[in-house]
Amino acid sequence: MEKKIFIFIIILTCVINKLCAQSFTENFKDSTLRIDYIFSGNINSQSIAVDRLNVMPKWYGKKTRLTELPIEGNGQITVKDYKNGKILYKNSFSTLFQEWLSYDDAKNNVRSFENVFLVPMPKHKVNITIDLRNNRREIIKSFTHTVDPEDILIKQIGFKNITPYTTLSQAEDTTHCIHIAFLAEGYTKDEMHMFLNDAQIANNAIFEHEPFKSLKSKFNVIAVMSPSEESGCSEPSSGIWKSTALNSHFDTFYSDRYLTTLNIKDMHDLLAGTPYEHIIVLVNTNKYGGGGILNSYNLSMTHHDKFKPVVVHEFGHSFAGLADEYAYETEDIPMYPHDIEPWERNITTMVDFHGKWENLIGEKVLVPTPPTTENINKIGLYEGAGYSMHGVFRGQQECRMRTNETTEFCEICKKSIADIINFYTE
């Protein structure tokens, strides 16, 4: 009887996968529609505008579970059939613009930010909707526009003059895997050997961590050799400005160690035609810093002694949407309202703990702060996470998402990462 059930499950899985594949080929081409947007405004009013439509040769994102989301994100992009309104594709994201809206600077000033999203190229006319959400998980701005794949003004990109790249590790099945691209920033043409070495170090660091280590065969990783005019990185607080491929800089939102780039279109121009989906920008600097944004990119310095833990930590943000698990003793940053459950899987306000790590502890076990010797590694609810000392909880005392000194992700983060990997590859 058990053998028959097992065979039935295998057959059912094959049927589902075949139907999903048919759904993709019915509605999409094996190419990428890259949509460049401008997000602008302030805390009182936001605006979204289409800047440019582009088509790239191949599609490297998901081809199954097209309308499902593994995590909510701070925003979502939805592709619908123009004629019948049926949802064909969805993905989630976060943006630097939304983060900026949480700062005092956004109360009176107006700023604009580039954003780029990739969706499979539709075969027929579609409506595409962008939803932006606040930290209460409420939609604050929604924008819908129509895309006709026959539009002659959709620019072809990545069909020639492709940035040189090399493969660091190849997936077992390159047609059904997760694609990562390391991108050089602040490396001159003569320093590309250094970049390739740094990319290999970063790649090894990520896949030394579980669950990436056990699931490495599901990833295809390349290093894209984009040269910069000058070596290094801009440091505005020190009056240093460099001419680099992405014009990345420290002091984002006046935070000394926050390293980002605002040149998102340039980033995707450099990657066009390469097999990429998730982006890790390696910055040629010995100054400490980094940043990671869900389904957008992460940046990390390369020549500081914390390079390896930082690039892994930031990938936790950009790939899996994991929240920071540390808190500031001097001040609480109200990133997570205590009466709303965060969408991130590795923190909770206990407003709605269901679906997170309650199955790992059996019940809501509050752990004393600081924890005692007997429960130092126990899975439970540790107060202090998401930049707040009180009201936001993490699952274990230590984690890669909490400190650079911790050698592994906590069990909660491991499960979250594994779930997302399996979502995209099973």
Q: What is the pLDDT of residue 361?
A: 85
Q: What is the pLDDT of residue 12?
A: 43
Residue 11 confidence class, pLDDT cut points 50, 70, 90:
very low
How far apart are the C-alpha atoms of 19 and 31, rounded to whole Å? 20
Residue 365 confidence class, pLDDT cut points 50, 70, 90:
low
pLDDT at residue 76 greater than cutoff 70: yes
- What domains does the chain contain, in order, with CATH numbers? 24-156 (2.60.40.3250), 165-320 (3.40.390.10)
Could you give the percent of the chain with pLDDT greater than 70? 91
Q: What is the pLDDT of residues 169-227, one digit of tens each?
A: 999 999 999 999 999 999 999 999 999 999 999 999 999 999 999 999 999 999 999 99
How far apart are the C-alpha atoms of 251 and 258, rounded to whole Å? 6
Q: What is the pLDDT of residue 10?
A: 43
Q: What is the pLDDT of residue 23?
A: 87
* Cα 220 from chain centre: 16
Q: What are the Cα distances from residue 21, in Å, to 24, 26, 389? A: 5, 8, 47
- Please report, in angstroms and rounded to a whole number, the separation of the first and last CA atoms in the chain: 26
Q: What is the pLDDT of residues 100-159, one digit of tens each?
A: 999 999 999 999 999 999 999 999 999 999 999 999 999 999 999 999 999 999 999 999
Q: What is the pLDDT of residue 197?
A: 98
Provide the edge-to-edge strand list for the sheet that holds 366-367: 366-367, 381-385, 388-394
Q: What is the pLDDT of residue 328?
A: 83
Helix (H) or strand (E) holding 89: strand 87-93
Q: What are the Cα distances from residue 381, in Å, to 210, 329, 357? A: 22, 18, 9
Residue 269 confidence class, pLDDT cut points 50, 70, 90:
very high
Sign of the four-CA dihedral 116, 120, 125, 129: negative
Residue 294 confidence class, pLDDT cut points 50, 70, 90:
very high
How confident is the model over 234-243, as a mean pLDDT? 98
